[in-house]
Amino acid sequence: MENGSKLPLAVYTIVERAKDKKGFWVRIGAAFRNHDGSLNVRLDAMPVNGTMHIREPKYAEREIPMPTDSDLAAIEGLAH
C-alpha cells in the first residue's frame, strides 16, 4: 500500500441485496496513509456486518476532491 499517493482511500462496506444476492458497495468513510504505511480511518457510518473494505476510490470519485473542514463549515453556514 506504500505507493506514495497522498490521495485518501475509500472505505466501503459490501451489503448483500436480498432480491438478487449481489453485493452492493456502500461508501462509509475515508482512510489516510501515514508515513509509516499505517492508516487513519474516518467513518461516516458503521458497517452493520462488521466488515470494511479499503481501496483506492472508483475512477469517478477520484475526480471529485474531498471537502475540507473549512468547506463543510462554509456549507453549514449557508444552510442557517
- pLDDT per position as a tens digit, 14-31: 888 888 888 888 899 999
Rounded-to-integer distance, Cα 23 and Cα 62, Å: 22
Contact of 29 with 11, CB cutoff 8 Å: yes
pLDDT at 79: 53
pLDDT at 75: 60
DSSP, residue by residue, the chain:
--S---SPEEEEEEEE-TTT--EEEEEEEEEEE-TTS-EEEEESS--TTS--EEEPPPHHHHTSPPPPHHHHHHHHHHH-
Residue 66 or 34, more confident: 34
- pLDDT band at 2; cut points 50, 70, 90: very low
pLDDT at 5: 62
